[in-house]
Amino acid sequence: MKKGKIILIFILSILFSVVVVFSASAYFLLVHHYKGTQINNPWRVEDEFKLQNIATVQKQKDKDFVILNLADVQMCDLEDFFNRKIIYKEISYLIEQTKPNLITLTGDQTWSNENLISLKSLIGWLDSFKIPYAPVFGNHDYGNTKNSAVAELNYCCELYEKGKYCLFNRGPSNLGTLVNYVINIMEENKIYKTLYMLDAGYEDVITTQQIEWFKWNAEGIKQANGGEYTSAMCFMHKPLPEYSVAYNKYRSGSAEAEAINDVHVHYSLSGTMQNGFFDAAKERGVLDVVCGHQHGNNFTIKYNGVRLTFATKTGELGGFYDDGIVNLNGATSFVLNDDGVNINNIYVDRKQFFINNNNNSFNW
Question: Binding string to Fe ion for residues 104 to 143, with x set by CB under 5 A, is what?
Answer: ----x-----------------------------xx----
Choices 43-51, 101-109, 124-132, 304-312 (CB under 5 A): range interacting with Fe ion: 101-109
Rounded distance, CA 114 to CA 102, Å? Answer: 28
How large is the angle between the packed helices 84-98 and 350-358, nearest 10 degrees? 70
- The nearest distance, CB 18 to Fe ion, in angstroms, is 37
Binding to Fe ion (CB under 5 A) within 182-201 occurs at none
Sign of the torsion formed by the C-alpha atoms of 345, 346, 352 and 354: negative
- Residue 89 or 264: which CB sits closer to Fe ion? 264
- Residue 101 or 199: which CB sits closer to Fe ion? 199
Choices 93-101, 102-110, 158-166, 348-356 (CB under 5 A): range interacting with Fe ion: 102-110
Binding to Fe ion (CB under 5 A) within 142-171 occurs at none
- Residue 237 or 302: which CB sits closer to Fe ion? 237
Buried/exposed code over 223-253 (b: 16+ C-beta within 10 A; e: otherwise): ebbeeeebbbbbbbbbbbbbbbbbbebbeee
Closest alpha carbon to 135 in 154, 108, 101: 108
Rounded distance, CA 54 to CA 59, Å? Answer: 16
Which residue in the shown chain puts its C-beta closest to Fe ion? Answer: 293
- Residue 118 or 139: which CB sits closer to Fe ion? 139
DSSP 71-128: B---B-TTTTTTTHHHHHHHHHHHHHHH--SEEEEES-SB-SS--HHHHHHHHHHHHT
- The nearest distance, CB 294 to Fe ion, in angstroms, is 8
- Residue 108 or 242: which CB sits closer to Fe ion? 108
- The nearest distance, CB 200 to Fe ion, in angstroms, is 9
Choices 91-99, 165-173, 188-196, 291-299 (CB under 5 A): range interacting with Fe ion: 291-299
Give the 3-state secondary structure of residue 216: helix
Choices 52-60, 103-111, 169-177, 309-317 (CB under 5 A): range interacting with Fe ion: 103-111
- Under DSSP, the state recorded for 298 is E
- The nearest distance, CB 141 to Fe ion, in angstroms, is 9
Dihedral, 69, 90, 78, 134 alpha carbons, nearest 10: -20
- The nearest distance, CB 293 to Fe ion, in angstroms, is 4
Sign of the torsion formed by the C-alpha atoms of 277, 264, 328 and 149: positive
- The nearest distance, CB 50 to Fe ion, in angstroms, is 33
Query: Which position among 59, 84, 89, 293 is part of the footprint of Fe ion (CB under 5 A)?
Result: 293
Residue 48: Cβ within 10 Å count: 5
- The nearest distance, CB 308 to Fe ion, in angstroms, is 17
The residues facing 347 across adjacent strands are: 330
- The nearest distance, CB 237 to Fe ion, in angstroms, is 6
Residues in contact with Fe ion, total (CB under 5 A)?
Answer: 4
The binding site for Fe ion (CB under 5 A) comprises: 108, 138-139, 293
